[in-house]
């Protein structure tokens, strides 16, 4: 019989395996779990090369999976200027400081501002005095608006003549001069002027960022950034340097290429594989571009916007599913969610005609932040995964109450969605929000007291960080539970999260993160 590489014992192991929910020891063989049980059960697995580790009563959970983040954005944000500051002045100070040690003419990029916090939108007039010689581009926290200075607009060739592109808007003064704010697709006009890092440079940045995520307790992520990140991730995979498993989603702009290549969801290996095709149905709450059934509070004209016209979404979705590609539709407003569900209802009919069962296409809706009460049961009925980010409920609360008013009764409604049969997959949307999964668990369970009827139990929230994302990616046979034959992806915690007050969840830090039988982060041995 094969013997184990690792035996971890004297632990409280929450396996998420209904046949054996709690265990005391686990044996790891290569990249997989060999056995789960009591310390005594491990004896046959002990060999001359087995390393045993007494966990001293620590807690072991299946590795956590972030089902929605942006790896390139996150890695680059770590290098950029953080303008998530209480005041506009502080943000400007940070830009000035960065400008002081950056060669003139070099782009300064950053992210994190929120006009709600500053009381108004910033503009180029604010930035020009602090960085006159550098092009500066700063993303809003939501990633749906870009604030730039005049040097950036000059380098990007933006003038009063530049028209608003489809799906985007350039903010202008009364004379028609751009003031340094670009919304949605208009951001592309600036972004294409910013020099891109090389694949190797990005791979280095991702390497650092992925290790940071591993130290937070994540063992896998679903990446929603595009081909540049994918190429860099492949470099890391080739070198055997990927600390986490990555499901790489594809932007809609790549659909034709994916179809031409015959690429299908699930292609890849245990470390890096193709996920769904992502379609944007709408924008975001912050800039009030989320697509609404009824106008925003106090803005009777504003229904937000359809990011991809419904007919274009349908057409793309039909082609994708017929070719074996799953869908992930970004939908924040209640209208966008309804459109996405309508689309999925039609898709399910098409798939039925093609003989494709629903579980062979794990379509999902990203964010699902505001869902009309009538639409809540449709997620479960249609077998659509609700890919949600609990931390959004906490940080969006003031905006949501202001712009959605009473409609917040079914905002961030993960409990109702789950009770009505939806499969939940939780994530962070980093760099929009911090990627710490324990902040997400805390938000899912506590919600800072906001609409507590939507709170989950810790066990349910953990499921949405483990079993849920595994299901969403079609990886349930290998990921999400600690059971013989499954991937040896686990985390070790100094405290039992089920035995501490929920408030303490936010403070939890891991002692070790094992992915595929290898410690990618640990302060244990
Ligand atoms: Zn996102």
**CA–centroid distance, residue 277 to ligand 1 (Å):** 13
For 270-328, the DSSP string reads: SSEEEEEEEEE----TTTT-S--SSPBTTBTT-----SS-HHHHHHHHHHHHHTT--EE
Tell me what pLDDT residue 77 has.
79
Mean pLDDT throughout 475-497?
A: 98
Compute the distance from residue 367 Cα to the ligand 1 centre, in Å. Answer: 8
Separation of CA 19 and ligand 1 centre (Å): 35
Q: Mind listing the pLDDT tens digit for each residue in 29-53?
A: 999 999 999 999 999 999 999 999 9
The answer on pLDDT for 196 being more than 90 is no
Is residue 129 exposed (0-12), middle (13-18) or buried (19+ Cβ within 10 Å)? exposed
Distance 69 CA to ligand 1 centre (A): 6
Instruction: Specify the CATH number of the domain 79-191.
Output: 3.10.310.70
Fold of domain 1-63+481-525: Urease, subunit C; domain 1 (2.30.40)
414 C-alpha vs ligand 1 centroid, how far in Å? 17
For residue 478, report the distance from its CA to the centre of ligand 1, in Å.
25
CA of 522 to the centre of ligand 1 (A): 29
Residue 241 binned pLDDT confidence (cut-offs 50, 70, 90): very high
What pLDDT, on a 0 to 100 scale, did the predictor assign at position 201? 87
The answer to whether residue 448 scores a pLDDT higher than 80 is: yes
What is the distance in A from the centroid of ligand 1 to the CA of 134?
28
- Tell me how far the alpha carbon of residue 205 lies from the centroid of ligand 1, in angstroms: 19
Question: What pLDDT, in 10s, does the model give residues 410-440?
Answer: 999 999 999 999 999 999 999 989 999 999 9
Distance from the first to the final alpha carbon of the chain: 27
Q: What is the pLDDT of residue 79?
A: 82
Mean pLDDT of the chain: 96
Mean pLDDT of 330-355: 98
Expressed in angstroms and rounded, the spacing between residue 67 Cα and the centre of ligand 1 is 10
Residue 322 CA to ligand 1 centre (angstroms): 25
Q: How far is CA 288 from CA 142, 145, 165, 304, in A?
A: 11, 11, 18, 6
Q: Ligand 1 centroid to 76 CA: how many Å?
A: 15
Q: Report residue 460's pLDDT band, with 50, 70 and 90 as the boundaries.
A: very high
- Give the integer Cα–Cα distance in Å for 275 and 135: 35
What are the residue ranges spanned by the domains of the chain?
1-63+481-525, 79-191
Taking a C-beta distance cutoff of 8 angstroms, is the pair 469, 221 a contact? Answer: no
pLDDT tens for residues 4-21? 999 999 999 999 999 999
Ligand 1 center from residue 154 Cα (angstroms): 29
Residue 338 has pLDDT above 90, yes or no: yes
Cα-to-centroid distance, 62 and ligand 1 (Å): 24
Q: How far is the CA of 355 from the centre of ligand 1 (A)?
A: 32
**Count of CB atoms situated within 10 Å of the CB of 262:** 9
Q: Which residues surround ligand 1, an ion (CB under 5 A)?
A: 429
For range 284-290, the mean pLDDT? 93
Is the distance from CB of 66 to CB of 427 less than 8 angstroms? yes
Band of the pLDDT at 142, cuts 50, 70, 90? confident
Query: Average pLDDT in the 134-156 region?
Result: 96
Q: How many CB atoms lie within 10 A of CB 32?
A: 17
State in Å: Cα 145 to ligand 1 middle.
13
Q: Is residue 385 a contact partner of residue 472, using CB atoms and an 8 Å limit?
A: yes
Asked if 27 and 432 touch (Cβ cutoff 8 Å), the reply is: no
- Kindly give the distance from the C-alpha atom of residue 445 to the centroid of ligand 1, in angstroms, as a whole number: 22
Averaged pLDDT, 107-124: 94
- Taking the centre of ligand 1 as the mean of its atom positions, its distance from the CA of residue 429, in whole angstroms, is 5
Average pLDDT, stretch 242-264? 97
Distance from the alpha carbon of residue 368 to the mean position of ligand 1, in angstroms: 12
How far is the centre of ligand 1, averaged over its atoms, from the C-alpha of 280 (Å)? 10
What angle is formed at CA 99 by the lines to CA 93 and CA 100, rounded to 5 degrees? 90
Residue 1 has pLDDT above 90, yes or no: no
This prediction's pTM? 0.87
- Quote the Cα angle for 326-323-368, to 5°: 20
Give the pLDDT band of residue 76 (cuts 50, 70, 90). Answer: confident
């Amino acid at each position: 019989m094969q013997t184990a590489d690792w035996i971890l014992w004297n632990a409280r192991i929450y396996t998420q395996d209904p046949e054996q929910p709690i265990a005391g020891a686990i044996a790891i063989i290569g990249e997989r779990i060999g056995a789960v049980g009591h310390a005594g059960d491990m004896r046959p697995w002990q060999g001359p090369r087995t390393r045993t580790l007494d966990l001293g009563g620590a807690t072991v959970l299946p590795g956590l999976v972030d089902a929605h983040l942006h790896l390139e954005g996150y890695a680059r944000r770590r290098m950029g200027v953080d303008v998530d500051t209480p005041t506009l002045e502080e943000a400007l100070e940070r830009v000035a400081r960065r400008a002081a040690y950056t060669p003139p003419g070099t782009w300064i990029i950053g992210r994190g501002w929120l006009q709600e916090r500053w009381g108004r939108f910033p503009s180029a007039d604010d930035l020009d005095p602090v960085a006159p010689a550098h092009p500066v581009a700063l993303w809003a926290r939501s990633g749906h608006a870009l604030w730039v200075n005049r040097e950036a607009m000059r380098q990007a060739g933006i003038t009063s003549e530049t028209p608003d592109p489809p799906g985007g808007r350039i903010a202008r003064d009364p004379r028609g001069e751009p003031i340094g704010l670009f919304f949605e697709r208009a951001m592309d006009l600036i972004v294409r002027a910013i020099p891109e890092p090389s694949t190797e440079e990005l791979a280095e940045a991702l390497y650092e960022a992925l290790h940071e995520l591993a130290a937070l307790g994540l063992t896998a992520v679903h990446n929603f950034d595009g081909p540049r990140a994918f190429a860099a991730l492949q470099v890391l995979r080739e070198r055997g340097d990927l600390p986490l498993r990555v499901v790489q989603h594809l932007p809609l702009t790549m659909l034709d290429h994916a179809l031409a290549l015959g690429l299908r969801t699930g292609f890849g290996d245990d470390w890096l594989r193709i996920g769904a095709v992502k379609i944007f149905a709408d924008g975001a709450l912050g800039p009030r571009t989320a697509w609404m059934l009824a106008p925003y509070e106090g803005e009777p004209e504003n229904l937000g916007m359809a990011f991809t016209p419904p007919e274009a979404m349908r057409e793309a979705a039909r082609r994708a599913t017929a070719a074996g590609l799953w869908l992930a539709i970004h939908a924040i407003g209640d209208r966008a969610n309804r459109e996405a569900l309508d689309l999925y209802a039609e898709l399910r009919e098409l798939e039925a005609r093609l003989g494709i069962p629903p579980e062979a296409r794990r379509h999902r809706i990203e964010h699902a932040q505001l869902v009309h009460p009538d639409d809540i049961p449709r997620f479960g009925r249609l077998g659509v995964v609700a890919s949600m980010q609990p931390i959004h409920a906490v940080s969006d609360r003031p905006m949501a109450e202001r712009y959605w008013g009473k409609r917040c009764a079914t905002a961030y409604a993960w409990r109702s969605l789950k009770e009505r049969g939806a499969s939940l997959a939780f994530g962070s949307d980093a760099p929009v929000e911090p990627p710490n999964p324990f902040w997400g668990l805390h938000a899912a369970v506590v919600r800072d007291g906001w609409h507590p009827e939507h709170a989950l139990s810790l066990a349910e929230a953990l499921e949405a960080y483990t079993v849920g994302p595994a299901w969403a990616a079609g990886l349930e046979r290998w990921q999400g539970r600690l059971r013989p034959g499954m991937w040896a992806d686990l985390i070790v915690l100094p405290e039992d999260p089920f035995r501490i007050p929920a408030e303490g969840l936010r403070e939890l830090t891991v002692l070790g993160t094992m992915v595929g039988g290898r410690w990618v982060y640990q302060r244990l041995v």
